[in-house]
Amino acid sequence: METLGRITQLAVRQFGLESTSVAVDAPVSEYGVDSLGLIEFLFLLEDEFHIRFPEERSDQPQTLRQLAELVARLQSESAAPVQA
């Protein structure tokens, strides 16, 4: 399953949403998710995708699509060989 689809399914379960009402380009705040809820969701995504989000982020993702793009980028960065 693609990253966006997995994140959407996780959001449906985590936030108690109807899968038909989820718009991946809508801010998660529209689903009643506060900043603490978003942080908890980020921890869930870290475990699910085996990544770590940077602690300091000035451009915090606000939509499920933005989260999926960030997860994909972090996965590709962790898979890239380390140059000496």
Condensed to tens digits (0 to 9), the pLDDT of residues 56-65 reads 766 778 899 9
pLDDT range class, residue 84, cuts 50, 70, 90: low
| CATH class of the domain whose range is 3-79 | mainly alpha
Tokens of 21: 């009402």
Q: How far apart are CA 33 and CA 15, in angstroms?
A: 7
The length of the chain, given as a count of residues: 84
The pLDDT tens digits for 13-61 are 999 999 898 999 999 999 998 889 989 999 999 999 999 998 876 677 8
Residue 55, pLDDT score = 83
Domain assignments of the chain as residue spans, ordered by start: 3-79
Please say whether the beta carbons of 12 and 19 come within 8 A. yes
Residue 56, pLDDT score = 77
Largest interatomic CA distance in the chain: 48
CA atoms within 13 A on the CB side of 7: 25
pLDDT range class, residue 77, cuts 50, 70, 90: confident
